Amino acid sequence: MATARIDAEPLKRLLRQAFDETMPELNSAFRDTIASPVFDWVRQTKRRNGETVGSPRNIVDLGVFLNSQSYQIIAPGNAEFTWTAPYAVHIYYGWTSRGGTEVKGRDWVKATFERFNLAEKYAEKVKAKL
């Protein structure tokens, strides 16, 4: 009788490490998107930082929203990105002012994944470790 056995632990460890090393790149990709002029807008705005912006524009004024971004590896192969600025949900889904102005949402997550190929980046990290 013969038995064959594979110790998958080193491979699992390698995959976890590759994932952990990919997340800082995704973190940077989210920040790059938020800071990039890729979001359409309907009018000019005088920002609190003094800048006058039109369309397309980025989502950075004083940087509170941008700097509220963080992430955490919550389980092997599972990361959670959060934006804790109190108006992050307003930026994402849009809002209506009491004066009746409708501001459309800006989906920086979708915009990031249109520019950043997560699967490809992860595969690169994995290949480099094999």
Q: Would you say 55 or 93 has its CB closer to another protein?
A: 93
Distance of CA 22 to the CA centre of its chain: 12
Question: Of 50 and 86, which CB lies nearer to another protein in the complex structure?
Answer: 86
Stretch that binds another protein, among 13-21, 23-31, 92-100, 107-115 (CB under 8 A): 92-100
Q: Is 117 in the site for another protein (CB under 8 A)?
A: no
Which of 95, 107, 118, 121 binds another protein (CB under 8 A)? It is: 95
Tokens 């090393």 belong to 21
Strand partners, 71: 81
Residue type, 16: R
